[in-house]
Each structure stands twice: as structure tokens, then as C-alpha cells.
Amino acid sequence: MRTLLNIIWFLFAGLELFIAYVFFGVIACVFIITIPAGVACFRMAGYVVWPFGRVVVDKPGAGVGSALMNIVWFLVAGLWLSIGHLLTAAAQAITIVGIPLAIANVKLIPVTCFPFGKQVVESPGARLF
């Protein structure tokens, strides 16, 4: 089921969102101070393109630096990417098949807005096939 959802996700949202994350990652890497935000953007692009079967958890040891970078990130790209997630979720929620994808899109918004201090790991209950 996870693979089927990932394939449908890739076709109807994943590729477009992946391109948006890569675009904002490149923009963030142009300025020296926002290079960590660009790296986070590239890391999240891998998660956004194939999200089912993985979860976002708090990274141990994240502190004030993560909080400061979350503020910078939100201003550089987080707000715009979260708007993209909302628009994509609204388009997906029109159909019955798209409702689980819309829910997944909305669940991605918190990590999109504040990615620092988080890490993506395999879901404990996910099977490979």
C-alpha cells in the first residue's frame, strides 16, 4: 500500500513539490548565511518526493541554533512552500482518491515551516513491500 501511495503521490504532487524545494534550496545556497537552510531544503526534497513509510521526529540535541535557523528558514522559504502544500492539498481533496494525499500534504506543513531540529526516519511499522 505504501508503494502505491508513493507512486500516486509522485505523479500528482511529489514531482512538483520536489522541484519547488530544490528551487528554494538553490536560492538559499546563493547567500552564505542561508546555506544551512539550502541543505535542509535538499534534505526535505527527498522526503517530499517519496513521503509514505517515513516519519519526521525530533532530533536529539537541537537547541537555540535550530530555533534561529527555523526563523530564517520560515522567512526565506517555509512560508512559500507551506502555501504550495495548502494549494496542492486543496486540489487533491476534490477527489476521493486524493483525500489521503491531501491529508499527507497538510501533515507536511509543520516540518516545511520549521525543519531544523527534525530528522526523517523510516516508520517503525512500514514494510518494504
C-beta atoms surrounding 65 within 10 Å: 11
Cβ partners under 8 Å of residue 40, min gap 6: 69, 73, 115, 116
pLDDT tens for residues 38-73?
888 888 888 888 888 888 888 887 778 888 888 888
What does the pLDDT read at residue 90?
Answer: 92
Question: Rounded CA gap, 112 and 17, in Å?
Answer: 11
Question: Structural domain tally of the chain?
Answer: 1
**Is 70 among the domain residues?**
yes
DSSP code at position 54: E
Q: Judging by beta carbons within 10 Å of its beta carbon (0-12, 13-18, 19+), is residue 50 exposed, middle or buried?
A: middle
C-alpha cell at 30: 546563493
**Is 127 among the domain residues?**
no
Question: Rounded CA gap, 47 and 112, in Å?
Answer: 11
**Is 129 among the domain residues?**
no
What does the pLDDT read at residue 63?
Answer: 78
pTM over 0.95: no
Average pLDDT in the 84-97 region? 88
What does the pLDDT read at residue 127?
Answer: 54
**Is 64 among the domain residues?**
yes
What does the pLDDT read at residue 126?
Answer: 52
Domain that holds residue 54: 2-118
